[in-house]
Amino acid sequence: MGSKYFLYSGQGSQYMNMGKKLYMEDETFSKYMRYLDDIVIDETGDSVIEYMYNEPLMTYKIFDNIIFTHPAICMVEYSMTKTLNKRRIIPDGLIGCSLGEYTAMAVAGVVDIEELMLIIIKQARLLSQSNISGGMLAIIDDFSRYQKSYFERIGLQIISVNHNSHFIVSGDRNSIDKLIYDLKGKNINYFDLPVKYGFHSSNIEPFYDVFMNEVADITLKKAKIPVYSCSQCRPVSEYTKDMLWNVVRNNIMYREVLQKYVKENDVLIDVGPQGTLAGFSKKILNRTSGIFSTMTLFNQEQKAISQIEDYVNNNKAN
């Protein structure tokens, strides 16, 4: 077995009740979820846990209120990391995509989790109060059939090519709606991500000054675990404040990071809500062995964690 990488996804991967069964069953996961939720309650008066877990377990309504989704993604990913650590599953590296890169930074010790949560909460509040209206659309089709100019003509940008048959465009809401109309007419499959902002595109440029003001006083330290940044397409040990903006503004280069740094016998463990990065990884690396999801829509987290634990223990000497 080679190196172990934990994978952290961002906006668009969230859903109501994510991790709820594990929260009900696992002491470590629930402990960290409650700890982080207390930070949200102290800052906003609202509980992410109460909001996110207030539906029956198998109910999956749209979860797109950034006031809750922004901290929720960080909460479940950080809590899942601690749950795996408790089982002695320790990463050699962290791969962070979009908002997930912030969680990876906290896990790596670049920023204290408490400080990161406060920044994420403030960002969500300010975005919700802004007049920015955008979206992100996943297109499930052969990427080679498309020209960049096709999207630029309607004001959209390709922000990530996850594999040959799955890529994401981002921009303002009207342009997203025009594209959906066009794709429907051509019977092309797509998924309108539960995100109300065009992250990683010019749609969020008006947010730059507010964003930089919010991170002005943040304390950034050297990473204790390598963070493989999908906004920089390289391992980062020391972040600057401008790089924090790049996390939400630059393209997501997940495929490029995997192709450049992940070796054949490396293990990838997706700690994000849906296992989307694990799914992309299997396509990108053309293998299924050694690639795991932890959370799924089917509430099988305990089983998934046990499988990871068995695989890691059985392959330690390889």
As annotated, the active-site residues are 98
Say if strands 134-140 and 166-172 run parallel, antiparallel, or are unpaired.
antiparallel
Q: How many Å apart are CA 231 and CA 246, to the nearest integer?
A: 6
Positive or negative: CA dihedral 9, 245, 202, 174: positive
Question: Amino acid letter at 216?
Answer: A
Question: What residues pair up with 161 in beta bridges, in sequence order?
Answer: 167
Task: List the one residue out of 270, 60, 267, 254 whose CA is nearest residue 166.
Answer: 254
Tokens of 255: 């495929």
Alpha helices in the chain (DSSP H): 20-25, 27-44, 48-52, 66-86, 99-107, 113-129, 148-152, 173-185, 208-214, 241-249, 254-261, 276-285, 301-314
User: Could you give the C-alpha distances from 298 to 58, 197, 273, 293, 294, in angstroms and in order?
Assistant: 8, 28, 11, 12, 11
HSE value, Cβ hemisphere, 13 Å, CA-based, for 202 = 6
Q: How many Å apart are CA 204 and CA 202, to the nearest integer?
A: 5
Q: How many Å apart are CA 198 and CA 209, to the nearest integer?
A: 17
Q: How many Å apart are CA 38 and CA 79, to the nearest integer?
A: 14
User: Could you give the C-alpha distances from 13 to 99, 124, 270, 277, in angstroms and in order?
Assistant: 10, 16, 12, 9
Distance of CA 69 to the CA centre of its chain: 11
Positive or negative: CA dihedral 77, 78, 82, 83: negative
